[in-house]
Amino acid sequence: MNEQLTILSELPERFFDVEISSICEVFPTPTLIHLNGRKSPALFVSILLHGNEYSGLKAIQALLSKYDILPRPIYLFIGNVTAAQQNCRVLPGQTDFNRCWPGTEIEPNADTQLMAEVVEIVTRDRLFAAIDIHNNTGANPHYACMTDVTQDNQHLAAMFNHIGLVFKRPKGVSTMAFNGICPAATLECGKPGEEIGIKHALELLDGLLHLDHFPQRPVAAHDLQLVQSLATLNIPDDVSFDFNLCAQSDLTFESGFELKNFTEIKSTDIFAFTRVENPLKITNQEGEDVTKDVMRVENGKVYLNKTLMPAMITLDKSIIRQDCLCYLMTDYQE
């Protein structure tokens, strides 16, 4: 048994009132809760893998308050509680809790062992689906992410919204760990705490509690637009940056840069301004450096070499340094 992991068979007192600012008083360590329900198989739900993304906590509190007896069992995993209590994505020196699940490229450590144990426990019996609830720091539509383009996963995504994102990197995410085990998706619910995002996640979870099976037909084209992640944009540590075109930084973006999420940027559109030769590092889904294939610099202006859509743009400088600036996408092609 991993010393970090607490396992419960019922909700603790104060569950329905707890906020992330006091979550360690109720959940001092990462916690897996198994709640009984009427019909198997169980639904797996993970929340707070990133501590400042707390819409999942609000959604699961609202869901569980509706029922004395659940329509189906739930495994609820509550992740990075210490980061959550400080309203941080991840604390300095911590492993990112959504990069260390089975299949990760991170060297084995206590956190990779923790996630492996969670997967081992919850998959002893069949699962109905696995849902990982997240938020975006920047302005984004609500969408579901999948790493395996199965018919069930597409139906799962369409139940959440009409946009589905297919990705292969980063490795070690929760959703990827459940590929081949059950339908699995990551829900991106907009900015933390937004009521519409909480409601959207709640509706999906409630629907999955009552659903007997996923439809045995393909998803209609008008119900789901699939896009795929092609590349990840990182800003090198030695490159200063700002979201103010008047700033004296190596790389500058417009102040409304996050509004470019899920909009097409053409090869003739200015992506950013720079005073250095290599302002960005761009990697593909295999982790290979494709900067020169994707981007060019001309007279201090950064352009993309073909029309692409960014997603998950954030203006939070600490998250950009911890993770990335954004991803670049195109329409999904099999």
On the question of a cis peptide bond just before residue 92, with omega within 30 degrees of 0, the verdict is no
Q: Which three-class secondary structure state does DSSP give residue 304? A: strand
Residues 37 and 126 in one domain: yes
The residues with which 186 forms a beta bridge, in sequence order, are 132, 145
Residues 166 and 314 in one domain: no
Residues 125 and 31 in one domain: yes
Residues 190 and 260 in one domain: no
Residues 157 and 258 in one domain: no
> Where among 207, 223, 239 does a domain terminate?
223
Residue 114 φ then ψ, to 5°: -60, -50
Q: Examine residue 317 and state whether it is found in any structural domain, yes or no.
A: yes
Summarize pLDDT for 255-313 with one digit per residue, the tens: 999 999 989 999 999 999 999 999 999 999 898 999 999 999 999 999 999 999 999 89
Residues 213 and 314 in one domain: no
Q: Examine residue 1 and state whether it is found in any structural domain, yes or no.
A: no
Its pTM stands at 0.89
- Rounded distance between C-alpha atoms, residue 156 and residue 320, angstroms: 29
Q: Examine residue 65 and state whether it is found in any structural domain, yes or no.
A: yes
Residues 14 and 108 in one domain: yes
Number of folded domains that form the chain:
2
Residues 218 and 260 in one domain: no
Summarize pLDDT for 68-108 with one digit per residue, the tens: 999 999 999 999 999 999 999 999 999 999 999 999 999 99
CATH number, domain with residue 205 = 3.40.630.10
> Where among 168, 201, 223 does a domain terminate?
223
Q: What is the DSSP letter of 59?
A: H
Helix (H) or strand (E) holding 75: strand 74-78
Residues 125 and 164 in one domain: yes
Q: Examine residue 128 and state whether it is found in any structural domain, yes or no.
A: yes
- pLDDT at position 2 is 57
Q: Examine residue 20 and state whether it is found in any structural domain, yes or no.
A: yes
Q: Examine residue 60 and state whether it is found in any structural domain, yes or no.
A: yes
Residues 263 and 168 in one domain: no
Summarize pLDDT for 107-148 with one digit per residue, the tens: 999 999 999 999 999 999 999 999 999 998 877 889 999 999
Q: Examine residue 248 and state whether it is found in any structural domain, yes or no.
A: yes
- pLDDT at position 334 is 74
Residues 48 and 179 in one domain: yes
Sign of CA dihedral 263, 269, 270, 276: positive
Q: Examine residue 286 and state whether it is found in any structural domain, yes or no.
A: yes
Q: How many residues does the chain have?
A: 334
- Rounded distance between C-alpha atoms, residue 312 and residue 187, angstroms: 13
Summarize pLDDT for 254-263 with one digit per residue, the tens: 999 999 998 9
Percent of the residues in the chain that have a pLDDT greater than 70, as a whole number: 99
Asked whether 43 and 129 are in contact (CB, 8 A), the reply is yes
Residue 136 φ then ψ, to 5°: -100, 145
Range of the domain at 258: 227-331
